[in-house]
Structure 1
Amino acid sequence: MFRVYVIIFFLLFGAIAALMVSGMFQELDNQIILSFENIRLPFLNDVMLTLTDFGISALLVPIMLIFSVVLFMYKRYHSIMLLFLLYIAEKTVNHELKGLFARERPAFDHLVNETYYSFPSGHSMNAATIYPFIAYLFIEMIPWLKKRQKAVYMVTGCCVLMIGISRMYIGVHYVTDVAGGFAIGLALFLICKKIDEKLSVIRQK
């Protein structure tokens, strides 16, 4: 099933990219951005700006460093290495894909300024790659969570989704940017999760 899910996410990304490049989804992309603009309120702006910060490297890297201390305590040294390799790989892939597609940011009212290209969303990729991997590692280390892994992944998924929604709400990404970031990010997460599982088995031997 691992290969099937990875292939599905890569194919999904390809389909989203094709829709974006063809322009077939552009009108709906625009309408979704405008719909978020229409519901903006001062307190909601603050909430969304806080949520979007959880997808930025300036906050994500400290979270990873703090979590690495937990991993060190559990003697999961290979997981620390994988966590940071996953982050570096994800950032590299995102940067290259942005340069490849060179999609301009939405030409609407932005609550923050962004300078680089739009597709796929870097915050969404960050969130969909790193937070599920952290959730997976917590599940592997803590038996109480292992029995409740569906709930852990559901909560993690909701948090990741809200980060993606925040990017559209503040006007810096289209829904296709966010969906594309989620698709490729989850594929990378699954690959890294599989590697960690293999290394854990080797370590136990």
Structure 2
Amino acid sequence: MYILFLIILFGAIAALMASGAFQDLDNQIILWFESIRLPFLNDVMLALTDFGISALLVPIMLIFSVVLFMYKRYYSIMMLFLLYLTEKTINHELKGLFARERPAFDHLVVETYYSFPSGHSMNAATIYPFIAYLLVEMIPWLKERQKIVYLITGLCVLAIGISRMYIGVHYLTDVAGGFAIGLALFLICKKIDERLPVIRQK
């Protein structure tokens, strides 16, 4: 149900983006973020946005893989990296399909490829919830506090998406589209992990 909803939501966001119906609001949001920029906020947002980039995300995944290995969750390691590669491939293809240009406003970093959907937002919405899910499944103390774990994870993912708009390289629709398709991929992978207990390593 949630997976279907997220896919439909992505389609609706893509349709709004392609039609230009949301463009004025997209522009206004970027300009608003520009208006509140401060040096210390710039530093915070630039640090946050790095948590959605592959150069930092892959090392985080490798470190987490050590934890999975210690818990003998070998299949989960494979699933984690397969999820990442699938997400990256889908994002690249969607960017090429929609070919949306980056916001033509003041930006704090230079990005060269297309804008929709946001790759950083999609990375964050796919990988961090899956890591949180695996931690909750492995560690009883976290399982008892899973709502807090998922809340903190959700806030971190949201912060990464906001950082992309703040630094001026993505519109709201880019970020929302990335979140929708990223969460759908996470839920698909989570469902596979839940429904195939015979191949899960405990």
* TM-score normalised over the length of structure 2: 0.98
Match of 2:190 in 1: 193
Q: Contact 2:73–2:201 (CA<8 Å) still a contact in 1?
A: no
Match of 1:28 among 25, 28, 33: 25
Match of 1:150 in 2: 147
Match of 1:101 among 95, 98, 101: 98
Match of 1:6 in 2: 3
Match of 1:50 among 47, 50, 53: 47
Match of 1:176 in 2: 173
| Alignment partner of 1:72 is 2:69 | yes
- Structure 1 201/146 Cα, relative in aligned 2: closer, same or farther at 3 Å? farther
Over the matched positions of the two proteins, sequence identity in percent amounts to 85
Q: How does 1:107-126 map to 2 (within 5 A)?
A: 107-126=104-123
Match of 1:164 in 2: 161
Q: Structure 1 runs of 4+ off > 6 angstroms? A: none
Match of 2:125 among 99, 124, 128: 128
Q: Contact 1:71–1:77 (CA<8 Å) still a contact in 2?
A: yes
Q: Contact 2:75–2:199 (CA<8 Å) still a contact in 1?
A: no
Query: What stretches of structure 2 of length at least 5 have no aligned partner?
Result: none
**Deviations, residues 117-152 of structure 1 (Å, cap 9, x unaligned):** 000000000000000000000000000110111111
| Alignment partner of 1:88 is 2:85 | yes
Query: What stretches of structure 1 of length at least 5 have no aligned partner?
Result: none
Distance in 2 between residues matched to 1:199 and 1:156, nearest whole Å: 25
CA RMSD of aligned residues (A): 1.1
**SS of residue matched to 2:52:** coil
Match of 2:36 in 1: 39
